Structure 1
Amino acid sequence: MVKAWITNSLSRDIAISIMCLPTAKDVWKDINERFGQSNGSRYIQIQREISSTSQGSSDIAAYFTKMRSLWDELNCSYVGPECTCGALPKFIQDQQLFQFLSGLNESFSTVKSNTLMMTPLSSLSKVYSLLQNDESGMRPNWISGDFTAFSASSSSPRPHTNFNQHHNTKYNQYSASSSNSKPY
């Protein structure tokens, strides 16, 4: 039954070439030996495509999606040795961040330079989120060091104060009014 499923999933020419194999295990092993090998030339081609891909007229979401699909394809065609030390995933994440940033339009140069100055580097997801906000005109003020964007505002404008300043003022007003009252 498994052999029939595998055979029916293949093109006619390939299916004919494996018909004589006795078991599904033998069929799978033969197919894996012929087609399961990573293709070094395809790997290089994808690397070149990643290097030449730029945002151009695409929005951030479309550019990111294109890069993500290329990275996924590159990962599937990886031809190098297996990493046992655990350092490769972080290295790959950093490389993807660099590749993504290098293809961005110049209008995002501030976000690019701020990201590259961070130690440790920000994750690709965080940078993508920042760029989405920047693109939509809702650039977070904390990127430039202006933290007033996080203060709450009411319908009537008031000077920006932090939480402690506001509550200390309220406490001081209460203390002053209670010291003027008569003791019990």
Structure 2
Amino acid sequence: VEPAANSMAWDTWFLEDNQVKTWIINSVSSDIQSLILRKKTARDMWIILGQTYGQKKRKVRVYQLMKDVYALRQGDLSVVDFYAALKSKWEDLDYHLDNIWNCPQDQMHYVAKEWENRIFLFLVGLNDDFENIRSQILNSEESFSIEDVYSCVEAEEQRSLVTTGGKRDHISYHERSALVSRGLGGALKSLRKCTHCKKYGHTVDFCWDLHPEKKGKRGRSSSGKMPVSEDTKSSGGKASISAEQIRELRAYLGRTDANQVQASDETKANHAFAV
């Protein structure tokens, strides 16, 4: 309670009240600060905060935080950014829960189980690129802290970035599996690009815009079925890979390696410049 202005205790109260006001302002987010900045005393600030963010508001906030945590996925985020986003939500959640325990031992067990659950949430939210390291952690008999798990996953990401020249592979695990199941022939075909029409699936030698006479040879037959060569029939339906396809694949891999080396050199140069 504010003492009388002519009281000897007023100076001490005024100093301490301003200290509490400063602490309150620094403890809330910028959007909340605007609600309390013009309040005269720390008590007035506290009353406004209690009315605005009371028990009912706290439950809504906890619900929203829990919803965000369980829905959060890595996506295009790096491991560092994904972990930071999760950790920020967890810290906010811990602040709003603030459980009161009668038995310290029960509190220790609860905290241990809660962090184990958070390890699972972190692993679940990772992209499929980390399936191997995720399986190793889950199958291990050792007990890991969340910091240990994060360190392992982040190290795996750095190793992957080094081998790919600083580029992230955005092709998911399931997409890569589907590409393998389609076979090498389908992959080779998808690598071809016509220098004339800029479309994939064929080369300029077989571009229908330049060679309309080849449309009947490369297209569908009148029965609506793709023509089958005698070589394919005699091999029991297994398509062979031509020398031209092998040359195309080698050329593509050569270009890919060159691009990765160039990207790696640029990344190192940028890092050296930044240092």
TM range (shorter): 0.5 to 0.7
1:64 is the counterpart of 2:86? no
Residue identity opposite 1:61 in structure 2: V
Distance between the aligned counterparts of 2:83 and 2:94, measured in 1? 16
Alignment length (residue pairs)? 134
Number of the residue aligned with 2:113: 91
Contact 1:94 1:121 in 2 (8 A): no
Distance 1:12 1:48 in 2: 27
Q: TM-score, normalised by structure 2?
A: 0.41
Name which of 136, 143, 147 aligns with 1:125.
Answer: 147
Displacement of 1:12 after TM fit? 7.5
Structure 2 CA distance, aligned partners of 1:116 and 1:126?
A: 13
Contact 1:39/1:79 (<8 A) preserved: no
Distance 1:18 1:90, change over 3 A: same
Alignment gaps of 5+ in structure 2: 1-14, 26-32, 162-275
Q: State TM-score, norm by structure 1.
A: 0.59
Task: Report the Cα offset of residue 14 of structure 1.
Answer: 4.7
The structure that has the greater radius of gyration is 2
Match of 1:3 in 2: 17
Q: Show the counterpart of 1:46.
A: 65
Separation in structure 1 between the aligned mates of residue 34 and residue 114 of structure 2, nearest angstrom: 39
Counterparts of residues 1-184 of structure 1 (less than 5 Å): 1-7=15-21, 14=36, 30=47, 34=51, 35=53, 39-78=58-97, 80-82=99-101, 84-85=104-105, 86-137=108-159
Gapped runs of 5+ residues in structure 1?
140-184
Question: Structure 1 residues 30, 100: CA separation in 2 closer, same or farther (over 3 Å shift)?
Answer: same
Identity across the alignment (%): 20
Q: Is the 8 A contact 1:97 1:124 kept in 2?
A: yes
Other structure's SS at 1:92 match: helix
Q: Once the two structures are superposed, what CA deviation does each residue of 1:95-117 show, in whole Å capped at 9, x if it has no partner?
A: 11011001000111111111112
CA-based RMSD of the aligned residues comes to: 3.2
1:6 deviates by: 3.8
**1:57: how far off?**
0.8
Deviation at 1:121, TM superposition (A): 3.0
Alpha-carbon offset, residue 69 of structure 1: 0.7
d(CA) in 2 for partners of 1:94 and 1:138? 26
The change in CA–CA distance for 1:115 and 1:2 in structure 2 (over 3 A counts) is: same
User: 1:134 and 1:14, CA in 2 relative to 1: closer, same or farther beyond 3 A?
Assistant: closer
Shift of 1:91: 1.1
User: What is the Cα deviation at residue 118 of structure 1?
Assistant: 2.1
